[in-house]
Amino acid sequence: MDSIDAKILTALQKDGRASAADLSEIVNLSLSAVHRRIKLLEEAGIIRRYSAVLDPKALGYSHDFFVEIALQSQSAKTMEAFEEAVRASPVIVECHLLTGAFDYLIRIATRGPEDYERVHRHALSALPGVMRMQSSLVLKTVRAWEGYQVVA
């Protein structure tokens, strides 16, 4: 990957619907060269997929919560059951396995505190193997993730 690939990737992260013609102007390459590079980036797995970034507030999700979860055990069986349930849950936006005092960090988007209470009672407390949960309400997002910094 070189600096031109990095510019293409950065432009696609800003606007995934940018046409190859737009990209060719940005990186100062021919249309066919841009097509070829994009195809190679896709084949290499650097571009995994294309998607739309939705506005959570426009969809009615006004509150984000981070939930730290400690499991009863770190056995493979307990962790696999927990992770399978998380993948099947439509209310969990993100889940990360951690080091430290808690085993997992989950992000939940809700329509408000009452909605979070429902999610907590019916979804989070039903997750297998959970020993302890600690929830934190996001007051303000200072910087949201908008893609990886691409360096050649």
Looking at the chain, which residues constitute the CATH 1.10.10 domain(s)? Answer: 3-43
Q: Give the pLDDT confidence score for residue 150 in this predicted structure.
A: 87
Of the candidates 137, 144, 128, 129, the one whose C-alpha atom is nearest the C-alpha of residue 89 is 128
How do residues 89-132 score in pLDDT, each as one tens digit? 999 999 999 999 999 999 999 999 999 999 999 999 999 999 99
Question: Phi first, then psi: what are they for 13, rounded to 5°?
Answer: -70, -35
CATH of 3-43, one of 1.10.10, 1.10.287, 3.40.50, 1.10.3470: 1.10.10
How many CB atoms neighbour CB 72 within 10 A? 13
Three-state SS for 68?
strand
- Domain 63-137 CATH class label: alpha beta
Name the stretches of the chain with pLDDT < 50: none
Given CA atoms 109, 15, 33, 21 in this order, what sign does their dihedral have? positive
Residues 6+ positions from 108 with CB-CB distance below 8 Å = 64, 65, 66, 67, 91, 92, 93, 116, 119, 124
- The partner residues of 6 in beta bridges, in order of sequence, read none
